[in-house]
Amino acid sequence: MFKILGADQKEYGPVSADQIRQWVAQARANGQTKAQAAGSTDWKPLAEIPEFADALRAAASPGGRPSSPAGSVPPPRASGLAITSLVLGCLGILTCGITSLFGLILGIIALVRINKSNGQLGGHGLALAGTIVSGAFLLLAPIPAALLLPAMAKSKQKASSIQCMNNIKQLNLGLMMYATDNKDLFPTGTSWCDLIMPYEQASQPFVCPQGKPGQRSHYALNAKLIGHELKDVQAPAETVLVFETDGGWNVAGGRELLPADPRHGGVYGVGFVDGHAEMVRSARLQKLRWDP
């Protein structure tokens, strides 16, 4: 095995004697190119090393390739895996370390291939940097994840609350439309869901995104209004019309049906006779008006 001193005065290798003969044949090295044998400390021109004499004569013959200037061995090509490893490692800051996992794997593969290439592959520094950067981001990945998860959970909670409020508003509207078409009477508690179905939009407003799975409805009708007309309600903006419950179809009752654990961060979705909806905290439940 030999080391080669390139035109840039950098050492390349170790490479095999066959590889050097191939470079000579390709005019990438010549007799003045300096080489150092394994175990030696002396640099010698290839012309002074007997085992390359035949290759040099063949290159200098009329049918051979023209000689190149001394030390014309080009630097090895950079490993594409090494470059990719570094890029993926750096992208870990934007992907919470996901790309860094691939960067670490590619960096290790690149290092192995470079070490086995006998000087034909370069980019050892890039591969090492990619491996280190990727590993560092993998170790640090839990930190941004820990910061993002609460924000994501809060965003999801807000989205579900908005959907629940929209559901309640649609149910309010359906109940009001039913009453208008039926002598201003509220529907019966045993069939109110069925009775307002024709008044609801194609989207299903009975299911809360945070409700128990498998339930057809997560809302109940205020049973105190059954049998009454709209004109009987003294304070429509304060009187409960529909409210959240654990689940069931055609459910009617009072505050005892509210979920034991609020589904939306400590608040309950409530719809009022005037058509508006609110998210109500537990402390305010006792102040809600249930009687007409």
Span 26-51, pLDDT tens digits: 888 888 888 888 888 888 888 888 88
Please say whether the structural domain 2-60 has been given the CATH code 2.130.10.10: no
The overall pTM is greater than 0.85: no
pLDDT at position 127 is: 83
* Helix or strand run (H / E) with residue 122: strand 121-122
Q: What is the 3-state secondary structure (H, E, C) of 92-121?
A: CCCCCCHHHHHHHHHHHHHHHHHHHCCCCE
pLDDT at position 161 is: 86
pLDDT at position 240 is: 96
Q: Is the pLDDT of residue 96 over 80?
A: no
Q: Is the pLDDT of residue 75 over 70?
A: no
Mean pLDDT over residues 1-10, rounded?
81
pLDDT at position 71 is: 46
Tokens found for residue 2: 């030999």
Span 115-152, pLDDT tens digits: 887 667 778 888 888 889 888 877 876 766 666 666 66
Span 238-270, pLDDT tens digits: 999 999 999 899 999 999 999 988 888 889 999
State the chain's mean pLDDT as an integer.
Answer: 85
pLDDT more than 90, % of the chain? 36
DSSP 130-156: HHHHHHHHHHHTHHHHHHHHHHHHHHH
User: Distance between CA atoms of 269 and 242, rounded to whole angstroms?
Assistant: 9
pLDDT at position 67 is: 45
Q: Is the pLDDT of residue 1 over 80?
A: yes
Which amino acid appears at position 214 of this protein? G
Span 164-182, pLDDT tens digits: 999 999 999 999 999 999 9
